[in-house]
Structure 1
Amino acid sequence: MFKSMKTGVLAAILISSAIYAHAQKKITEGSVTYTMDYALTAEQEPMAAQLPSETKVKFNGPISKIEIEQGPATISVFRDLASNTGLLLIDVPVAQWQYAVKQTKEDYDKANAASPKMSDFKATGEKKMIGSYNAEKYTYKDDKGGTYELWATNDVELPTGFSGQEFKDVKGTLLKFTRFQQGVKATLTVKGINEEKVGPLTLEVPKGYEVKTMEEIMALQRGGGE
């Protein structure tokens, strides 16, 4: 009997250790893949075909990278999660364009000034599994009367600010949530979180890229540039 009890205690310790280790899993380099569902206004509907249904965010420490293919262009978006600054790289081989746009915190604030401000995050105690992660439901609201819910987990920890400053009051990694980006409402759901080698990420402008402002890029798209 003592032997079986000892075995049971050891098993319990091993299991609890495994759970504790999983709960404390911290990933500093890797990727997160999201599926994205949009709620577009009538004015936003023409851009529906250009919005991705899935996106992959690579990260190394506080810097993240998203790469988007749009027609002949490859657009790489780098963002420093700590300073809320960024870099946009635009490659259009057929036009021999290689442009870089530096983005400051003020640029981000201006772009999202009209978006609803999120607040009043409250844990509900409701739990469920999302993928392989234990998740808890939160409710929250915005300053325009909207109400929302999200699901977060403590099974894995991503770099601070990964999901955006508006969710800084949520304890845990967001697995499903709704946000506004430049006026577009989107619900993101984690499809996969992978710890993998990404390599160095930086906000330095690569050699060969011409630095332009966002206004100059918009002019080029309208045919008003070189």
Structure 2
Amino acid sequence: MFKSVKTSLLAAVLVGSAIIANAQKKISQGTVVYGVEYSLPAEQAAMAAQLPKEQKVKFNGNVLRIDMQQGPATIGILQDFVDKKGLMLIDVPMAQIQYAVKMSKEDVEKAEASAPKLSDFKATGEKQKVGNYNAEKYTYKDDKGGAYELWASNEVELPTGFAGDQFKEIKGALVKYTTFQNGLKVTLTIKNILEDKVGPFSLEVPSGYELKTMQEIMAMQGGGQ
């Protein structure tokens, strides 16, 4: 009888350990699919219909890649979110154009500095399922007087820094949160996390791409001086 009790206890411990291991699954490469919502001023509300409602972020280790379509151009953005370096690839097949723009650590940090500063992260204890993940609610604010909430889950672990330095205080993967992209306030909600083989990604300029500066690209678009 005692032996049976010990066996049952051991089995329970092993099963419990398996559940914990599964609950804290660490993913080092794959694809995160987000639903995207935009908060725009009333005068820009019509723009929201033209913006993508979904964003796929591929990652391998500390390097992520986002691909998007803008008219005839395919744009790939790669960033090492630890070393804070990046590369933008612009491909316009119909015009036989391939441009590459390197982003230094200084460039990335300058862009980050222009965004509102987030602080005062507080766990509320409120729990809710977001997509496939059980999550806890946090509140936070920015230095412009804005107040926000996010949901973080301990059931999956993404690479440290994946969501950006401003969220490094949060334990767990952010499954729903509000942040700023290119000056726009966006709310990202995870629809799926795919643990698939992607990359490895390189920040070296691929063969066939002509190196340009961001100022040169903006001038081509009529945004330069």
TM over 0.5: yes
| Structure 1 counterpart of 2:33, one-letter code | T
1:172 positional shift: 1.0
Deviation of the 1:138 alpha carbon: 0.7
In structure 1, C-alpha distance between the alignment counterparts of 2:146 and 2:43, rounded to whole Å: 19
**In the TM superposition, what whole-angstrom CA distance separates every residue of 1:86-131 from its partner, at most 9, and x where no partner exists?**
0000000111110000112222233343321000111111112222
Quote the offset at 1:19 in angstroms: 1.7
Give deviations 1:131-190, integer Å, cap 9, x for gaps: 232211111111111111100011111111100111011111100000112220100000
> Contact (CA 8 Å) 2:84, 2:109: kept in 1 or not?
no
One-letter code of the match for 1:97?
Answer: I
Query: 2: CA distance between counterparts of 1:16 and 1:81?
Result: 34
The residue identity in structure 1 corresponding to 2:162 is F
Which runs of no fewer than 5 residues in structure 1 stay unpaired?
none
Deviation at residue 47 of structure 1 after TM alignment:
3.8
Instruction: Find the aligned partners of 2:102 and 2:185 in 1 and give their Cα distance.
Output: 25
TM-score (norm 2): 0.91
Retained in 2: the 8 A contact 1:178–1:185? Answer: yes
Q: 1:132 to 1:5 in 2, by over 3 A?
A: farther
- Measure, in 2, the Cα distance between the counterparts of 1:40 and 1:223: 21
> SS of the counterpart of 2:30?
strand
CA drift of 1:7 comes to: 6.7
RMSD: 2.0
How many residues end up aligned between the 2 structures? 224
- Which residue does the alignment assign to 1:126? 126
Deviations 1:63-101 (A, max 9, x none): 000010122111000000111110000000111110000
Check whether the contact 1:64–1:78 (CA below 8 A) recurs between aligned residues.
yes
Q: Secondary structure at the match of 1:176?
A: strand
Task: Tell me, yes or no, if the aligned pair for 2:152 and 2:174 is still in contact at 8 Å.
Answer: yes
Aligned to 2:150: 150
Q: Which runs of 5+ in 2 are unaligned?
A: none
* Preserved CA contact (<8 Å) 1:112 1:182: no
